[in-house]
Amino acid sequence: MADVTTSVQPPFPHPSGARPPAIPRQFVPRHVAVVMDGNGRWANARGLSRIEGHKAGEASLLDVVAGAIEIGVEYVSAYAFSTENWNRSPDEVRFLMGFNRDVIRRRRDQMASWGVRVRWAGRRPRLWRSVIAELEEAERRTVGNTVCTLTMCVNYGGRAEIADAAAALARDVQAGRVNPSRVNEKVFARYLDEPDLPDVDLFVRSSGEQRTSNFLIWQAAYAEMVFLDEPWPDVDRRHLWRAIEEYARRDRRYGGAVDRPQV
């Protein structure tokens, strides 16, 4: 039987005492995707190894999740390890595997106490079994939580997700379970890693880079992009709130438009 949090506690306050801006609920993004970029550059600028930068980034993720809860974001998706990250040095890959496993183990009870549901999106092949075990245990322990959903994207790639979905759909078509003439975007989306994950409203990337890097490319088709100059270890909930303030000022038309004559 899955564990269910019976007493939800608010997250710890920001050390500065900062509180979230007063934004009308309809202007708060439901789903925020986060590319946690710049850990290595942050460390190298301080004469440290890239590994130290990854360690420093753990606190940033925790604080951003706390800030998401405080302002009312329902879903946070974090790019923890991409399918392309296997191309890094063997030492860094080994560290990242162990680090992701240990972060999930260290933080799952804290996430549970905040009412956070932890989920995993990504491919199983190549991923350490110990990492999969910790991700699945975190999912099991937090399955009944409803305050916020944190999706850890580990061994994840947007193109890989779409390719895997297409392969699964093709198998069902071949088996006669799906009529190919009825395949549309809604049907295809059922084959994604987390088919009930809502579309991304706000896509945030740190460290000044302005690209999606193959993250949630199906779900983020209409996301508003906000790029932060700060490397990930320098990011906290105040940066998230500023990104949400920027999001709230955007005019989201989803391909539609109306004339607004100048007077």
Catalytic residue ranges? 37, 85
- What is the helix (H) or strand (E) element at residue 166, kind and residue range? helix 158-174
Geometric angle at alpha carbon 200, from 54 and 109, rounded to 5°: 50
Backbone angles phi, psi at 213, to 5 degrees: 50, 45
Q: The dihedral of CA 119, 215, 114, 28: what is its sign?
A: negative
CA gap 66, 23 in Å, rounded: 17
* CA triple 135-141-146, angle to 5 deg: 105
Q: Point out which residues pair with 116 in neighbouring strands.
A: 148
AA letter at 173: V
